[in-house]
Structure 1
Amino acid sequence: MDEPTSGLDARAAAIVMRTVRNTVDTGRTVVCTIHQPSIDIFEAFDELFLLKRGGEEIYAGPLGHHSLELIKYFEGIEGVSKIKEGYNPATWMLEVTTVSQEQILGVDFSDIYKNSELYQRNKALIKELSQPAPGSSELYIPSRYSQSSFTQCMACLWKQNLSYWRNPPYNTVRFFFTTIIALLLGTIFWDLGGKVRSSQDLFNAMGSMYSAVLFIGVMNCTSVQPVVAVERPDQLISSQVVIELPYALVQATIYGVIVYSMIGFEWTAAKFFWYLFFGYFTLLYFTFYGMMAVGMTPNYHIAAIVSSAFYAIWNLFSGFIIPRPCRSGGGGTATYAPLHGRSTGLVVSQFGDMMTEMEDGTIVKVFVEELLRLQAQLVGMGGDHCRGVCRALRLPVWPCHHEVQLPEEMMTIGAGMSIHILGCGYWCSTPIF
């Protein structure tokens, strides 16, 4: 139980502790964390497991009548001040074991405990109880989880759905930002898609497609990293990947409808849905890349630093800054860059069949095929490329995310019973009935 008496008045706290004691009297073990308890509550416990910052134990043993065992242990340490008559043992215990007191006394309470007789007794008892009884068989569990992977995924997906729905700072902000960027780009490139009179107009239209990647894709990558970092210990990775699909679809639809109509691209079903398709998968693989970066680094701060280097590389080989005809030597490897397939697919799907004649007499379709070297069949290849990138960035997310393991120590509760206590990073006391 985590701080069962916090926020309660004396009467309510007494009722809670009486209920806990009644549970213990039935033969069960109850573990509680408490925060600055009163004398009555503190001395209602049988044993205490005390940790200091960093999860290191400094006391694990019985409290004794009126906390005499605890007081005797700490007063036996040279330099520790004696407890005053009538003083709360819990308050005194926390005061004499602070970091500042360690520095003043020049001691480490964790080392003192590990060299104490109490520690040796605990270790000996753990070793004794770890030996199986004669004739007993080892506990066998056929599987790690009681439910199938599908059942787990559906349960986690429902939990993740509620978590995302209750996280407006993440979802609402990115939808709002997407709308603003779409309106901004639509205004800047107003009615450009249907008025390709020169090669410069064509490059401007390509720039409108390219700009969205820099603004929205990078935003998705950076904004998802703190969210993944928070959910990482829960191992909800499969559900977190799946729950991003509808949100990315809504985001791509908002951007696609606004920009497509304002820029004035040709209104045909094939071209419009190709535009949404490439926008959708671009947002997905930026999002999955953000997840993967968090999974492969200790925290999302380092993930953000690592990601920024890849933004520049992806940007360079996107096919806009260095067009296809300008590459030489090892430039063919740029074809595998994540943004390259999107840029190629968008340009070919929108202008690969346009028969409009530009001012210099060149047909747009011919310009795209011969000068930019982008053929019509590259639309499908670009689509396959985007889907492949999403899969490639999604798969490493699973093995890179592991349950966070805190320092673990086994502590004996009583004859024949033991529990595992996980260390915490704060001063905390874990009394045990």
Structure 2
Amino acid sequence: MKRGGQEIYVGPLGRHSCHLIKYFESMHGVSKIKEAYNPATWMLEVTASSQEMMLGVDFADLYKNSDLYKRNKALIAELSTPRPGTKDLHFETQFSQPFWTQCMACLWKQHWSYWRNPAYTAVRFIFTTFIAIVFGTMFWDLGTKVSRSQDLINAMGSMYAATLFLGVQNSSSVQPVVAVERTVFYREKAAGMYSAIPYAFGQVFIEIPYVFVQSVFYGVIVYSMIGFEWTAAKFFWYFFFMYCTLLYFTFYGMMTVAITPNQNVASIVAAFFYAAWNLFSGFIVPRPRIPIWWRWYYWACPVAWTLYGLVASQFGDIQTKLSDDETVEQYLRRYFGFKHDFLGIVAAVIVALPVMFALTFALSIKAFNFQRR
């Protein structure tokens, strides 16, 4: 083919490219190939644009007017006509394996991909352990101090800081991983290996055990060092809310990659909502003090639900009186609007958030294709 994709020779090469050489040497003005010269190099030289201008010919037109071109067209027409009694090639399904087998294969592939990526998995555990120790020493034994409102705000501050610190870290660190995996997915889907939903299934479910272990590391260290009340119910609530929070932050980071063309754009989109979630979390400005026209976004803010669950589960049922003769439970209801008997609904929302982000990730992977070629 010449520049522009035009054909100048379509046919057999022959031994030592003898047919190719014979075809071009038969044209008037084309120089003969030298002894022991590379046929490919010779062919490129004699068919260059400069040679066409010098000879006053167009090799593409010469090919179209040649007997070789006519024979090729006749052969194509012959082969394009199906033989009597034959049927078109047909497959019942687009992919060779059933849906569930695709899901298991993608999950197994992601298992090995994550296992062989300690820069992501191991560093996440090390970072989480380090942050847990820092927070534990910074807020040492705050969980037992409930005699002043400032103590409660300090304890809530530890929850607020951990939620954003670890959450944003999870969301940001998963983005480059998913960006690379998405490129692999495009190639393997085009090859007919699996569809979009099994890939999303594997990408989502492989994060669940890793985030679980991360939550165990953080929860045990921080819960014991801060000194929250050691009851099975309260520890479960703390672990449950932290686990779901880290999950929805991780899935949120994955979702931003799925709906944007590259990791850089995903980081910008994610950063905007980090700031919004921080502002409407209910810690900087408690919900009762948020202007009424913005209060709706408090209920749409995932971090607000996390803080609600963490604070209400740990302090929402404490009847200890504060210095102003108000119980802890009453203070949380009045100042933050937190009610202990609302925990069931909070738990349901916290479970729904990672599910929502994971489903959005899966549907976006299926719907959007940002390949440039």
Q: Normalising TM by the smaller chain, what interval? A: 0.7 to 0.9
Asked if structure 1 preserves the Cα contact closer than 8 Å seen for 2:286 and 2:335, the reply is: no
CA contact (8 A) 1:344 1:378 kept: no
* Alignment pair present for 1:152 and 2:102: yes
Distance of 1:82 and 1:309 partners within structure 2 = 68
Question: In structure 2, what is the Cα distance between the partners aligned to 1:94 and 1:284?
Answer: 61
- Answer yes or no: is 1:273 the counterpart of 2:215: no
Residues 156, 265 of structure 1: alpha-carbon distance in 2 compared, 3 angstrom cutoff: same
1:366 is aligned to 2:330: yes
Structure number having the greater helix percentage: 2
Cα pair distance change 1:364/1:295, threshold 3 Å:
same
Note closer, same or farther for the CA distance 1:132–1:219 as it changes in structure 2 (3 Å cut): farther
Map residues 9-408 of structure 1 onto 2, 5 A cutoff. Answer: 62-67=12-17, 86=36, 88=38, 92=41, 117=64, 129-232=79-182, 233=185, 234=188, 235=196, 236-327=199-290, 328-402=292-366
Structure 1 CA distance for aligned equivalents of residues 370 and 21 of structure 2: 32
Shift of 1:197: 2.8
Moved more, 312-321 or 340-349: 312-321
Counterpart-to-counterpart distance in 1, 2:361 and 2:152: 38
- Structure 1 residues 341 and 84: alpha-carbon distance in aligned structure 2, compared to 1, 3 A threshold: farther
Q: CA deviation at 1:399?
A: 2.5
| 1:142–1:367 Cα change, 3 Å | same
Q: Structure 2: how far apart are the matches of 1:353 and 1:322?
A: 23
Q: Compute the displacement of 1:82 (Å).
A: 10
Q: State how far apart, in whole Å, the 2-side matches of 1:114 and 1:343 are.
A: 75
Measure how far apart 1:193 and its partner are.
1.0
Structure 2, unaligned runs of 5 or more: 53-58, 189-195
Structure richer in strand, relative to its length: 1
134-143 or 348-357, which moves further after superposition? 134-143
* Partner of residue 191, structure 2: none
Q: Matches of 1:191 and 1:387 in 2, distance apart?
A: 29
Inter-CA distance 140–273: structure 2 relative to 1 (3 Å threshold): same
Give me the whole-angstrom Cα distance separating, in 2, the residues matched to 1:206 and 1:124. Answer: 81
Query: Are residues 168 and 82 of structure 1, via their aligned partners in 2, closer, same or farther at CA, if it must alter by over 3 Å?
Result: farther
- Taking the aligned partners of 1:223 and 1:395, their CA distance within structure 2 comes to 20
Kindly indicate whether structure 1 or structure 2 has the higher relative contact order, using CA contacts under 8 Å at least 6 residues apart: 1
Offset at residue 216 of structure 1 (A): 1.2
d(CA) in 2 for partners of 1:356 and 1:173?
41
Pair 1:84–1:272, CA change in 2 (3 A): farther
The DSSP-based 3-state class of the residue aligned with 2:143 is: coil
Change over 3 Å in CA distance of 1:135–1:309 after alignment to 2: same
Could you tell me which amino acid in structure 2 is paired with residue 276 of structure 1?
F
Residues 394 and 120 of structure 1: CA distance in aligned 2, closer, same or farther (over 3 Å): farther
Verify the 8 A CA contact 1:346 1:379 in the aligned structure 2: no
Q: Contact 2:261–2:370 at 8 Å: present in 1 too?
A: no
1:65, distance to aligned residue in structure 2 (A): 3.2
Number of residue pairs aligned between Structure 1 and Structure 2: 341
Q: How far did 1:190 drift? A: 0.9
SS in 2 for 1:321: coil
Summarize the Cα distance change of 1:135–1:88 in structure 2 as closer, same or farther, 3 Å threshold: same
What is the CA distance between 1:388 and its match in structure 2? 1.1
Query: Counterparts of 2:100 and 2:218 in 1: how far apart (Å)?
Result: 33
Q: Is the 8 A contact 2:280 2:297 kept in 1?
A: no
1:341/1:381 contact within 8 Å kept: no
Shift of 1:401: 1.7
Deviation at 1:364, TM superposition (A): 1.0
Tell me how far apart the structure 2 counterparts of residues 295 and 115 of structure 1 sit (CA, whole Å).
50
Query: Given the superposition, is the C-alpha separation of residues 406 and 182 from structure 1 closer, same or farther in structure 2, using an over 3 Å criterion?
Result: closer
Distance in 2, matches of 1:94 and 1:217, equals 61
Tell me how far apart the structure 1 counterparts of residues 110 and 61 of structure 2 sit (CA, whole Å).
43
**How far 1:370 sits from its partner (Å)?**
2.2
1:383/1:95 CA distance change after superposition, 3 Å: farther
Tell me the equivalent position of 2:55: none
Percent of pairs identical after alignment? Answer: 53
Q: 1:265 to 1:134 in 2, by over 3 A?
A: same
Deviation per residue, 1:42-76 (Å, 9 max, x gap): xxxxxxxx999xxx899976444324566789999
Inter-partner Cα distance in structure 1 for 2:274 and 2:141: 29
Partners in 1 of 2:70 and 2:150 — Cα distance? 81
Please list every run of 5 or more consecutive structure 1 residues that lacks an aligned counterpart in the other structure: 1-49, 106-111, 408-424, 426-433
Is the 1:179–1:254 Cα contact (8 Å) retained in structure 2?
yes
Query: What is the alpha-carbon distance in structure 1 between the residues aligned to residue 13 and residue 60 of structure 2?
Result: 15
Q: Report if aligned partners of 1:228, 1:291 keep a CA contact under 8 Å in 2.
A: yes
Give the TM-score taking structure 1 as reference length: 0.68
Root-mean-square deviation (CA, aligned residues, Å) is: 3.8
Q: Distance between the aligned counterparts of 1:363 and 1:346, measured in 2?
A: 18
Whether the aligned pair in 1 keeps the contact of 2:282 and 2:336 (CA below 8 Å) is no
User: Structure 2: which amino acid aligns with 1:313?
Assistant: A
Task: Determine the C-alpha separation between the residues in 2 that align with 1:361 and 1:280.
Answer: 35
> C-alpha displacement at 1:120, in angstroms?
10
